[in-house]
Amino acid sequence: MEDILLVGLGGHAHSVADSIEQGGKYNIIGFLDKEEMLGKRFRDYRVLGTDDAMERYYADGVRNAFVTIGFLGYGSVRERLYNRLKEAGYTLPDIIDGTAVVSDHVKLAEGIFVGRKAVLNAGAEIGKMSIINTGAIVEHDCMVGAFTHIAVGSVLCGGVSVGSRTLVGANAVVIQERRIGNHCIVGAGSVVRKDMEDNRMMLGNEIVKNLRGGV
């Protein structure tokens, strides 16, 4: 098995670590996180150092890494960590849980997590570092931008386009052929029946906020 370094020890990391273990391709050597997390553990894996240790572990021969921090409302955090890892030389593989259903005709960029029992149907395209979380459904011909989170149990119907750094919250539904812009938040349980411009927040069926600076 190839070694892999995980960045960020939080709740999302637990799901990712489970999927990596079950996949049997990578050996988790541990986590990097903030200084106050040093020495903390998740099962057999401990926090080995801070983000500043990325280059050292690469120099020691670790070539794979994965960002295990969730969206946190800010896709920019995952983007910053992605850029640092790439600059250090790491490969960021896709981690796809063994229970997920992924069509052979899906296009996946790098660093993507596909959780338990998620479904990606034919013609879908998923941008780098996106999260397709537990039980989410991405139907045929959908486009999901980079650093975006399609949360637990949410549904993108056929032909939906979702921009970058966007959150589609748990159990939200986006009806077919709708477009959601960049830097948007779709609240949990919302039903998106109309297009959303960039930097918007939707709760229920209504756009309630202009996020201005994005997410």
Taking phi over 0 as left and psi of -120 to 50 as alpha, with beta for the rest, 12 belongs to alpha
In 3-state terms the chain splits into helix, strand, coil percentages (rounded to 5) of 20, 30, 50
Q: What pTM, to 2 d.p., does this model score?
A: 0.94
Would you say 158 and 175 are in contact if contact means Cβ atoms under 8 Å apart? no
Decide which of 3.30.70.360, 3.40.50.620, 3.40.50.20, 3.50.50.60 is the CATH code for 2-93: 3.40.50.20
Write the pLDDT tens digit of every residue in 2-29. 999 999 998 999 999 999 999 999 999 9
Would you say 163 and 182 are in contact if contact means Cβ atoms under 8 Å apart? yes
**Pick from 84, 92, 120: nearest CA to 105:** 120
Encoded tokens for 44: 């057999």
Q: Do domains 2-93 and 96-210 have the same CATH topology?
A: no
- The whole-number pLDDT of residue 48 equals 95
Encoded tokens for 207: 């756009």
96-210, superfamily in CATH?
Answer: Hexapeptide repeat proteins (2.160.10.10)
pLDDT band at 208 (very low <50, low <70, confident <90, very high): confident
Give the domain ranges of the chain.
Answer: 2-93, 96-210
Write the pLDDT tens digit of every residue in 26-71. 999 999 999 999 989 899 999 999 999 999 999 999 999 999 998 7
**Pick from 51, 61, 64: nearest CA to 8:** 51
Mean pLDDT, range 123-129, rounded to an integer: 98
